[in-house]
Amino acid sequence: MHQTSDIQQAVNFIQQHTDKKPTIGIILGSGLGPFADTLEDAVHIPYDTIPHFAKSAAVGHANELVIGKSGDKTVIAMKGRFHYYEGFTLDQVTFPVRVMKMLGVEKLIITNACGAVNTSFKPGDLMLITDHINLTANNPLIGPNNPELGVRFLDVSEVYNKQLRTIVSDVANELNITLQQGVYAWWTGPTYETPAEVRMIRVLGADAVGMSTVPEAIIAHHSGIKTIGISCLTNMACGILDQPLGHEEVIETAERVKSTFLQLITKTIARF
């Protein structure tokens, strides 16, 4: 379990590289790394140089923090994230969120690529996460609670901040971007779901399923960071269409939607 002093060491290291004070954080999912390249006057800090950071090996992800300006806002972007399925502990997966908090981040945008479970959605749609279902039987807050970081028993009735969600949906309207809304189910991966599992997930009340986001969202909420999640529905979840699912499809769709996603995020940040 990371201690407050570990977070402080990572923060000190980052602050040696930049005097920028980020107030908005963003975690970039599969194929969305290019957002970080839009940040101006940016500093790039590879994860493996930062004290206590793990090193991600996921295909399609870079592995660095990028701190720079988006309009008048100072943003810290995670280009690449740590996934539970890679074998990282949830403490490692969520450590960067603790670091963002200590750096002064007040609002966090978590993005991901995921599968559409709701059959009225289509590949390439974006989805604002309204709530989540944790299917993993794990939780990043299991273990001793550090009261300096947050409460022991966390209220999760509004993990995804309502006020910020309204801003995102207003921005989507203004930009004429179709923005679905729905519940995200967290699946450990690395296998995709079986068709039977997808039917189960639908019955349970989820609209989309993916392998990330929920641990980071829980820790952001625990830290008092206002959080939103936006998914790129890269594919119909397994069994909905009569075809196999591969990582290539996920990357291809994320690539196709990239510029729309970048527009939505950029204008959202300007409004935050």
Report the candidate in 9, 111, 12, 23 with the shortest Cα–Cα distance to residue 67: 23
Residue 237 binding ligand HPA, by CB under 6 A: yes
103 contacts: CB under 8 Å, gap ≥ 6? 11, 14, 15, 21, 22, 76
Q: How far is the CB of 234 from ligand HPA (least distance, A)?
A: 5
Residues for the chain: how many in total? 272
Is residue 234 near ligand HPA by the rule CB under 6 A? Answer: yes
- With CB under 6 A as the contact rule, the residue among 235, 264, 265, 269 that binds ligand HPA is 235
Q: Is 198 helix (H, G, I), strand (E, B) or coil?
A: helix
- Is residue 159 within 8 A of residue 132, CB to CB? The reply is yes
Nearest Cα to Cα of residue 169 among 268, 84, 238: 268
By CB under 6 A, name the one of 187, 219, 230, 260 that touches ligand HPA: 187
Tell me the DSSP string of 70-122: ETTEEEEEEES---GGGT--HHHHHHHHHHHHHHT--EEEEEEEEEE-STT--
Q: Which x/- pattern, by CB under 6 A, does the window 136-175 give for ligand HPA?
A: ----------------------------------------
- Residue number with CB closer to ligand HPA (125 or 193): 193
Q: Based on the shown chain and the rule CB under 6 A, indicate whether residue 111 belongs to the binding site for ligand HPA.
A: no
Q: Tell me which of 78, 108, 113, 141 binds ligand HPA, using CB under 6 A.
A: 113
Shortest Å, Cβ 59 to ligand HPA:
12
Taking CB atoms, the residue at the shortest distance from ligand HPA is: 115
Q: Which residue has the tokens 């990028």?
A: 66
| Residue 115 binds ligand HPA, judged by CB under 6 A | yes
**Contacting positions for ligand HPA (CB under 6 A):** 113-115, 187, 192-193, 209-211, 234-235, 237, 245, 250
